[in-house]
Structure 1
């Protein structure tokens, strides 16, 4: 039996480059009745731990290290005894939020994270952040994109450690090669599909 996907929305503040913005974040819990992973532990470790419940938390996977996606990760790891996984290219961003607590393991392009018998493949998609990754499950027909791809286009760039042409290249070459009916579970806001965003991408600036 394949894993299922749960969504929890948490609220807090995104801070970078001297600015701050109130945000709602999607926290994704993937697994079954006995074990799960958490994708992006945002804002509220207590609420996330309540949803995890008595299930074993196998890993906290970070799509990138902007503070609003990782600020609850150390506390959740402490509560549930789970390792925190991050792409090494985002360590500089991680250290802005957690200078005294390193991640427990590294994510690499092509790596698989397995939970409840379901494999999720790590896709390195730099641009919104240098170590941004997405997690794709062919079995579930979903991709978790963090802030790489939203309903309506690429994640925001123009801040430090980000680059618009890089994120567009990442989306075109890593995500738009996935089946068009793949459901896109984003870091903020509503879901979409690869096909819907591919159609809209005709209006994007060319990198």
Structure 2
């Protein structure tokens, strides 16, 4: 008999709540409150919070509490720069047949999800699987900023299409340039994107 959500399910549910801005940066994460929301005991909640702290999605306080990390402009720029670095590193050992099989996911609910899926696919074309895993963690931390990219920046569909085109063509040089331009635009717009992160809906 299943007495409640497994630890993995609780972890995935909590990750989604944070990524979708149910808890804004700086918000305290109370295990008892979360247990009621996710129909779980507090033990898997605490396990999930500690796991997500390891991923950088949650901040563990010395007092034993947890909160959603605050995001500042330098930190957001660093995250976009790190995403760019992962792609550039991955392309050094990219397997062209894997790159050429990459497609945009038309079923993604948002451009934020499309971007995450596409960048993860490109990073995962590397012969070093650590690149794909690093991108997956970075995507999760960037998701809250990417939600506002369409409103703040516009033209996201065209950028994602250009990235996908470079991948399908197996053109590493083109993909390097396209990825660099994609990430640099976001680094330069970090202040505007942060306003979207902290705005009241």
TM-score by length of 1: 0.29
- The structure with the largest helix share of the pair is 2
TM-score by length of 2: 0.29
Higher normalized contact order (CA 8 Å, seq sep 6+, divided by chain length): 2
- Compare CA radii of gyration and give the structure with the larger one: 2
- The structure with the largest strand share of the pair is 1
